[in-house]
Amino acid sequence: MNKLFIAIIAVIVVTSGVSSVYAHKTVIVGPYEIEVGWRDEPPLVSQQNAVVFKITQDGSGVTNAFRDLTATIKSGSVSKQLDILSDVRAGHYYSKIIPTKVGTLVVELKGTINGVQVNEQVAIEDVEDINLLAFPPTSASGLPDLAQLKNAMSSLQKDVAQLKSGSMGPAQDADLGKSYDYAVFALGIGAAGVILAVVALIKRK
């Protein structure tokens, strides 16, 4: 019974270790094994993450691997050279990045590792919408809810109507004109906010 329990625990530990790098891609270049993927998976839009690299030779980490090697990340026709930093573990490297849209990103590796030519393109795990893990759920655009904006506008309109009719109380009569001007100004800002939110929603769809 004890042996069975230990075996089950071992399987769980091994499987959990594999799942942490399930989406990493590995390429073999000469004597080197290059693993590329995300630090945090799944990668989410607008959340800071990092592209991580593990470069080994015969199971040992390769130091200074990016001395003559560059990594460029691509999204369609847009590309950016990554700023590679060394991890405390030998052969491990990373580059911080904040994905800005869903979809596939490709990492291009060009140059040499200790004289061995490298020219590889690796498609890493697709970036997902933040609502995949967000709770409570929000609109995909991340913009203020239009119903809330509508309620705020209605409230402003009521305040303006009260000021115009003078029903805010006799103590405020002296400042009625100034308050009315401020209220109209606030109403204008609120309307502009609603318009901008609608335009942004349309552009994102």
pTM for the predicted model, two decimal places: 0.59
Structural domain includes residue 5: no
pLDDT at 3: 52
Is there a single domain that holds both residue 33 and residue 124?
Answer: yes
pLDDT at 69: 98
pLDDT at 166: 60
Is there a single domain that holds both residue 125 and residue 174?
Answer: no
Structural domain includes residue 126: yes
Structural domain includes residue 139: no
Q: What is the CATH number of the domain that holds 91?
A: 2.60.40.1930
Is there a single domain that holds both residue 101 and residue 194?
Answer: no
Q: Is 31 helix (H, G, I), strand (E, B) or coil?
A: coil
- What's the structural domain count of the chain? 2
Domain that holds residue 178: 146-204
Is there a single domain that holds both residue 97 and residue 66?
Answer: yes
Is there a single domain that holds both residue 151 and residue 94?
Answer: no
Is there a single domain that holds both residue 88 and residue 154?
Answer: no
pLDDT at 10: 47
Is there a single domain that holds both residue 23 and residue 124?
Answer: yes
pLDDT at 83: 98
Q: Is 21 helix (H, G, I), strand (E, B) or coil?
A: coil
Is there a single domain that holds both residue 69 and residue 126?
Answer: yes
Of 93, 110, 132, the residue that ends a domain is 132
Is there a single domain that holds both residue 104 and residue 190?
Answer: no
Structural domain includes residue 161: yes
Is there a single domain that holds both residue 107 and residue 176?
Answer: no
pLDDT at 6: 46
Structural domain includes residue 14: no
Cα–Cα dist 190/149, whole Å:
8
Rounded mean pLDDT for each run of 10 residues along the chain, 205 residues in total: 48 42 85 98 96 97 98 96 97 97 96 98 95 74 57 70 61 58 66 64 53
pLDDT at 11: 43
pLDDT at 174: 54
Is there a single domain that holds both residue 101 and residue 177?
Answer: no
pLDDT at 172: 56
Which of 99-103's residues contact partners 24+ apart within 8 Å by CB, and which partners?
A: 99/43, 99/44, 99/45, 99/46, 99/47, 99/49, 99/127, 100/45, 100/46, 101/45, 101/75, 101/127, 102/45, 102/126, 102/127, 102/128, 102/129, 103/75, 103/127
Cα–Cα dist 25/122, whole Å:
7
